[in-house]
Amino acid sequence: MNPHDASRAGADSLAVAVRNVTKIFPNGDTPTYALRDVSFEARCGELTMIVGPSGCGKTTLLSVICGTLAIDSGTISVFGHDLGGMSVAEITGFRSKNVGFIFQQFNLIPTLSVMENVSIPLILQGWNYRKAEEKAASILAEVGLGNRLNSFPKQLSGGQQQRVAISRALVHDPKLIICDEPTASLDAKTGLHALELLKKSACRPDRCVIVVTHDSRIFSFADWIAEMEDGRVVRSCPAAEFHHG
């Protein structure tokens, strides 16, 4: 296992660099080590998966990469920005511009229409509503939901909701896409379709996609896989190598 594997693209394509990160959750007298001296890299143009059993620290690693969770030691660099040197407000601003999220439960606001949900990242960046909704409508059309713009999330199937979530993650053209268990709320077929769509629409040479999953059926979509166990990255390799053990 070598997180700085020389076989990967050059340093200029490095999107995320996690170095010796430790995260401890206080738990009475026995603190829980969620991350133990973790090092990890993700590169632009690749879909990197973080895999492993439940409770191994995948989601914690995802949270610290996007700056929603503070670390206890180590460094995290995202597109050259050291998150440790940024204030909470700066990290929030950074996330708003550079990170797109796809949550396990989608987290689409039920009282907002599909178009309104997708336009939120743009509105957060100060776009006016009309333009934001126009952009949202165009990206929804790309994922095949052009006829459901004014529907509400509850009126959609799980797969359609996932497509809305993908659209919301991509609408503001972020450099980093974070997906947390994107297939957990979907059946097998829909999950595969969702990953196909994600791979097709999100993966670009200037963008890094990180997917946390324990669903081995979708490992084949990965370019690189980092396997975690007990708060440590135990293996990090190209997907092809991972499949061959």
Partner 1 sequence: MLRIALLMLFRDRAKYVMLVVGLTFCSLLMTQQSSVFCGLMLWTTATVRNIGAKVWVFDAKVEQVNEVIPLREIEVTRVRGVPGVEWAVPLYVGIEQARLSDGSFQNVQLVGLDTATFVGRPMEITKGRIEDLRLPDAVIIDQVGVDKFRKKGITIDIGTTFEINDKTARVVALCHANRSFLGQPYVYTTYDRALQFAKPQRKMMSCVLVEPKPGVAARELAENISAAPGLQAFERDDLFWATIRWYIKNTGIPISFGTVVLMGVIVGIAIAGQTFYLFILDNLRYLAALKAMGARMPILAAMVFLQSFSVGFVGFGLGVGLTSIFGYKVLKIEQPPFFMPWQVPAFVAVIIIMICCFSAAIGLRQIAKLEPAVVFK
x/- track of binding to partner 1 for residues 76-95 (CB under 8 A): -------------x--xx-x
Query: What's the min distance (Å) between Cβ of 235 and partner 1?
Result: 22
Quote the CA–CA distance of 69 and 154 in Å, as a whole number: 30
Beta bridge partners of 76: 18
Report the residue number, 9 or 109, with the smaller CB distance to partner 1. Answer: 109
Query: What's the min distance (Å) between Cβ of 123 and partner 1?
Result: 6
Query: What's the min distance (Å) between Cβ of 60 and partner 1?
Result: 8
Report the residue number, 45 or 93, with the smaller CB distance to partner 1. Answer: 93
Stretch that binds partner 1, among 35-43, 108-116, 140-148, 182-190 (CB under 8 A): 108-116
Query: What's the min distance (Å) between Cβ of 12 and partner 1?
Result: 26
Query: What's the min distance (Å) between Cβ of 119 and partner 1?
Result: 9
242 belongs to the binding site for partner 1 (CB under 8 A):
no
x/- track of binding to partner 1 for residues 15-44 (CB under 8 A): ------------------------------
Report the residue number, 123 or 192, with the smaller CB distance to partner 1. Answer: 123
Is residue 194 within 8 Å of 102, Cβ to Cβ? no
Report the residue number, 44 or 115, with the smaller CB distance to partner 1. Answer: 115
Phi, psi angle pair for 67, to nearest 5°: 80, 15
Phi, psi angle pair for 193, to nearest 5°: -60, -40
* Binding residue (CB under 8 A) for partner 1 from 59, 75, 151, 201: 59
* Binding residue (CB under 8 A) for partner 1 from 35, 99, 140, 222: 99
Any residues with CB less than 8 A from the CB of 80 and at least 6 apart, and which? none
Q: Tell me which residues touch partner 1 (CB under 8 A).
A: 59, 62-63, 66, 68-69, 89, 92-93, 95-97, 99, 101, 103-105, 107, 109-112, 116, 120-121, 123-125, 129, 180
